[in-house]
Amino acid sequence: MKTIFEKSNGIDGINLTDNVENIDFLPASFIKDSAVGLPQVSELEVMRHYKELSDLNFCIEKGFYPLGSCTMKYNPKVNEFLSSLEGFNLHPHVEDSMAQGSLKLMYNLQEALLKITGMDAITLQPSAGAHGEMTGMMIIKKYFDSIGEDRKKVIIPDSAHGTNPASAKMAGFDIVEIKSNSKGQVDIDALKAVLDKDVAAIMMTNPNTLGIFEEGVKEISDLMHENGSLLYYDGANFNAIMGYTNPKLMGFDVVHLNLHKTFSTPHGGGGPGAGPVAVVEKLKEFLPTPVIAFDGKQYYRNYNLKNSIGSVKDFYGNFSVLVRAYSYILMMGKNLKHASENAVLNANYLKEKLKNYYDLPYDEPCMHEFVITGERQKHENGVSTLNIAKALMDGNTHPPTVYFPLIVHEAIMIEPTESETKEKMDEFVETMISIAKEAKTNPEQILSAPHTTPVKKIDEVTAARHPDLNYIS
Ligand SMILES: *Cc1c(COP(=O)(O)O)cnc(C)c1O
């Protein structure tokens, strides 16, 4: 009998071929007849290898990470411990009666997020912000189907995150872009000009991606509702407003949150995340199933929603992200408000410190983030925003978000979050000032940056034209 182990030497005294099924069905070419070429290394060597790799990486634990819009705040390590508790390690197919603890946590998190957003019903299923957006737009689509209206258009401001138009398009809508005004806010006249009975919704984030609060939000929501349209709130910037206001008060009908941004899950590198979607009462029946419910005795997964768009994620969603968000909310309690307060204070502090050295496209008080432009450096010294971002890496700082939002040339978008100390921010200011000075006196130093990172300057053009997408080259 040919078995998987027959051709290996086995281990003295142990018969590795016992209980192994016959594998005659495997094509001969699939069966190895020589040892697998794995390196023979000790545990210590393996450990050193991975530690060395991890040292090459940049992370929030290593330095300042002001990546605008991404909210790279510090995520308390106790959340990691809690999310890995053995009791949460359930088989996804266990019955609800055997998953009461996990379901209760999800139910309580739903309740907490409903309080924080002011909304009426919620799903925890979507696994990212963009996934939440698509879920929300599908809900809006189905709502209009249910009332027999075939509205095709979704309005999106030109400052929006790129996922907004992508999600609306994926849900089957046509996109109508509207311009921002000179204050970096939605131009209400431009909105009125495109508003007709074919408009299903507007997608907005508030504060918007310029870090500016949309003062006209109530007027906008009234206009939309009068027109029979709905409002979608991209909650990725929620870190700016927690406890101060909420999307319901602003007049929104659907909102997603990025638990991995505002509610403390380490992110970057692609996940995992969670993008719960909350809705007003009249959209409750359209949520994806199951939603987590409580009948007074038992927590259970409720599949019984009349107009549900169906399921958008298997099993319990990204459950460990939900655990982290729940423990973060419980730990913070009323201090969630202070997190937003400090995030806004820190951003305004940095903006004021930097504004004599870099130009501000909108010199307004900002919320939790702000945008500067490297245009002056580009035109006067030939140093672009990309060069500035790379020079920052030499200052033990992750580059900010660059070239976004698209409406600002040479944009540099900075979000310090609430986690940083004044000392750390002052260090960042010093680095930014010395880059601005060096751009004038010694631009070559900035143009050839970074100098101290494990990988130095890369050939961007070749990387873009001939990407090597293999894991093993
Ligand atoms: C991050 C972000 C998104 C998308 O969220 P993901 O979780 O990355 O899919 C959408 N809008 C804004 C404003 C964001 O910052």
Q: pLDDT at residue 181 above 70? A: yes
User: Do the Cβ atoms of 66 and 431 come closer than 8 Å?
Assistant: no
How confident is the model over 235-256, as a mean pLDDT? 98
Mutate to test the pocket of ligand 1, among 258, 277, 369 (most ligand atoms within 8 A of CB): 258
How close is the Cα of 245 to the center of ligand 1, in Å?
20
Closest ligand 1 atom number to CA of residue 209:
13
440, β-bridge pairs: none
Give the position of tokens 């939002």.
Answer: 405
Helical pair 422-441 and 385-393, crossing angle rounded to 10 deg: 130
User: What does the alpha-carbon distance between residue 119 and residue 247 come to, in Å, rounded to a whole number?
Assistant: 8
User: What does the alpha-carbon distance between residue 163 and residue 174 come to, in Å, rounded to a whole number?
Assistant: 14
Look at ligand 1, atom 4, and give the residue with the nearest C-alpha. 129
pLDDT in tens, 398-413: 999 999 999 999 999 9
How confident is the model over 242-247, as a mean pLDDT? 97
Please list every protein residue whose CB sits less than 6 Å from any atom of ligand 1. 69, 128-130, 161, 163, 205, 209, 234, 236-237, 258, 273, 275
At 257, which helix (H) or strand (E)? strand 254-257
Q: Which residues of 86-117 are buried (b: 16+ CB within 10 A; e: fewer)?
A: eebebeeeeebeebeebbebbbbbbebbbebb
pLDDT in tens, 76-109: 999 999 999 999 999 999 999 999 999 999 999 9
Closest ligand 1 atom number to CA of residue 237:
13
Give the pLDDT score at 29. 84
Least confident of 247-256, 354-363, 452-461: 452-461
Residue 463's pLDDT band, with cuts at 50, 70 and 90, is confident
pLDDT in tens, 195-238: 999 999 999 999 999 999 999 999 999 999 999 999 999 999 99
Give the pLDDT score at 291. 97
Mutate to test the pocket of ligand 1, among 67, 69, 212 (most ligand atoms within 8 A of CB): 69
User: Do the Cβ atoms of 135 and 126 come closer than 8 Å?
Assistant: yes
How close is the Cα of 282 to the center of ligand 1, in Å?
26
How close is the Cα of 247 to the center of ligand 1, in Å?
17
345, β-bridge pairs: none
* pTM (global) more than 0.85: yes
Neighbours of 180 (CB within 10 A): 23
Neighbours of 472 (CB within 10 A): 3
- The tally of CA atoms less than 13 A away on the side-chain side of residue 35 is 6
Q: pLDDT at residue 23 above 80? A: no
Closest ligand 1 atom number to CA of residue 130:
9
